[in-house]
């Protein structure tokens, strides 16, 4: 989770429809796999590492983010949760990179050191924002360098030495509305979008409605090769 978004949502992140839906999609994509140790790259608040410690049999998680003021250690669900500015080795059998690769100029250079430090057969789950034509002030606010298609994401992952096992779009049900809004904004102004977060706190009814829409999509999301606001990809180190 981006630290800037944590500042906006605060404690509401655990009830916000967007993160709850993304966490539920992650758990569904990992269905049947029980990790022992999790490495969460660009982890921010550690939202997804915490979710997996709570929902799987993982024994430990390490969150890495250059944005941390200092290294620290916590316990979450009676399991060790470490926060580190950097690491040089890892025993993780599951590596997460949730909405992080778009934040750097060279995404492959970000990922390759982590691929090198983990063992063969280690699994990776990646999520990134989809489609450059959806670029908006939200991307500028978060410091994004690009958005992706399934093809461009898979190309980067393969260049890092990973074997791609699956990929799909997500938030497909919300895609038409979001695309219409963002394209209308671009037609109104040809200038560089003003940095502005589109993430908002919502009441219980809005959260429930949007969560229900995403829940209806999850059983078929693996078949979605066409469109969505986010791309998920699963791969492993050979």
CATH number of domain containing 227: 3.40.50.150
Contacts of residue 192, Cβ cutoff 8 Å, sequence gap at least 6: 140
Contacts of residue 237, Cβ cutoff 8 Å, sequence gap at least 6: 115, 118, 119, 120, 121, 122, 124, 161, 162, 163
Q: Looking at the predicted structure, is the pLDDT value of residue 27 above 80?
A: yes
Q: What is the pLDDT of residue 191?
A: 59
User: Sorting pLDDT into bands at 50, 70 and 90, what band is 83?
Assistant: very high
Q: What is the pLDDT of residue 80?
A: 98
Question: pLDDT (tens digit, 9 = 90+) per residue, 37-58?
Answer: 999 999 998 999 999 999 999 9
Q: What's the domain range around 117? A: 3-236
Q: What is the pLDDT of residue 200?
A: 55
Question: pLDDT (tens digit, 9 = 90+) per residue, 134-183?
Answer: 998 888 888 899 999 999 999 999 999 999 999 999 999 999 998 898 88
Q: What is the pLDDT of residue 207?
A: 81
Tally of structural domains, the chain: 1
Mean pLDDT over the full length of the chain: 90
Sign of CA dihedral 175, 178, 182, 185: positive
Q: Looking at the predicted structure, is the pLDDT value of residue 3 above 60?
A: no
CA 100 vs. chain centroid, Å, equals 7
Q: Looking at the predicted structure, is the pLDDT value of residue 194 above 80?
A: no
**Strand order across the beta sheet in which 79-84 lies:** 72-76, 79-84, 60-64, 37-41, 94-98, 123-129, 230-236, 163-170
């Amino acid at each position: 989770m981006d630290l800037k978004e944590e500042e906006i949502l605060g404690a509401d992140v655990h009830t916000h429809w967007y993160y709850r839906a993304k966490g539920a999609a992650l758990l569904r994509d990992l269905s049947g796999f029980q990790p022992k140790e999790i490495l969460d790259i660009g982890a921010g608040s550690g939202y997804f590492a915490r979710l997996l410690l709570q929902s799987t049999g993982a024994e430990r998680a390490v969150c890495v983010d250059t944005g941390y003021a200092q290294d620290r250690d916590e316990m979450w669900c009676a399991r060790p949760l470490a926060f580190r500015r950097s690491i040089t080795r890892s025993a993780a059998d599951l590596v997460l990179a949730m909405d992080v690769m778009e934040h750097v100029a060279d995404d492959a250079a970000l990922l390759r050191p982590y691929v090198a430090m983990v063992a063969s057969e280690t699994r990776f789950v990646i999520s990134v924002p989809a489609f450059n034509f959806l670029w908006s002030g939200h991307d500028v606010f978060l410091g994004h360098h690009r958005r992706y298609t399934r093809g461009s994401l898979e190309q980067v992952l393969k260049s890092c030495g990973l074997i791609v096992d699956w990929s799909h779009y997500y938030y497909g049900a919300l895609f038409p509305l979001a695309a219409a809004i963002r394209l209308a904004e671009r037609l109104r102004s040809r200038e560089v979008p003003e940095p502005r977060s589109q993430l908002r706190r919502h009441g219980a009814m809005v959260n429930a409605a949007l969560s229900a829409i995403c829940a209806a999509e999850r059983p078929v999301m693996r078949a979605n090769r066409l469109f969505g606001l986010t791309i998920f990809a699963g791969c492993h180190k050979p």
